[in-house]
Amino acid sequence: MWNTLQPWHLIVLVVVLILVFGSKKLPDAARSLGKSMRIFKSEMHELQHERKPEVEAKPDSAPSARVDTPTPEQNHTDARPA
């Protein structure tokens, strides 16, 4: 019963949307939705390209043996007692 969407279901949906929102606001809402989807798609595409080099670089990179020396701000051994 709920498995198929008949064409008359879509017609009823469109009529209800026109009655609820009005015919003037629907094109603006559709335009805003389309713009939002384009922005979302471009951001997802950008994230995928941003992460791709990191994933490819990890297997080739070796762990670093470098030891960081503390900066004077981090080294608290030269503090004078009050």
Domain ranges within the chain, ordered by starting residue: 23-56
How large is the average pLDDT for residues 35-49?
94
Report the predicted TM-score, pTM, of the whole model to 2 decimal places. Answer: 0.41
Cβ neighbours of 26 (radius 10 Å):
14
Q: According to the model, what pLDDT value does residue 35 have?
A: 96
Q: How far is CA 38 from CA 25, 26, 34, 50, in A?
A: 20, 18, 6, 18
Q: According to the model, what pLDDT value does residue 31 have?
A: 93
Q: According to the model, what pLDDT value does residue 49 have?
A: 86
Tell me if 29 sits within 8 A of 21, measured CB to CB: yes
Q: According to the model, what pLDDT value does residue 7 have?
A: 87
Is the pLDDT at 34 greater than 90, yes or no?
yes
Beta strands in the chain (DSSP E): none
How large is the average pLDDT for residues 19-37?
89
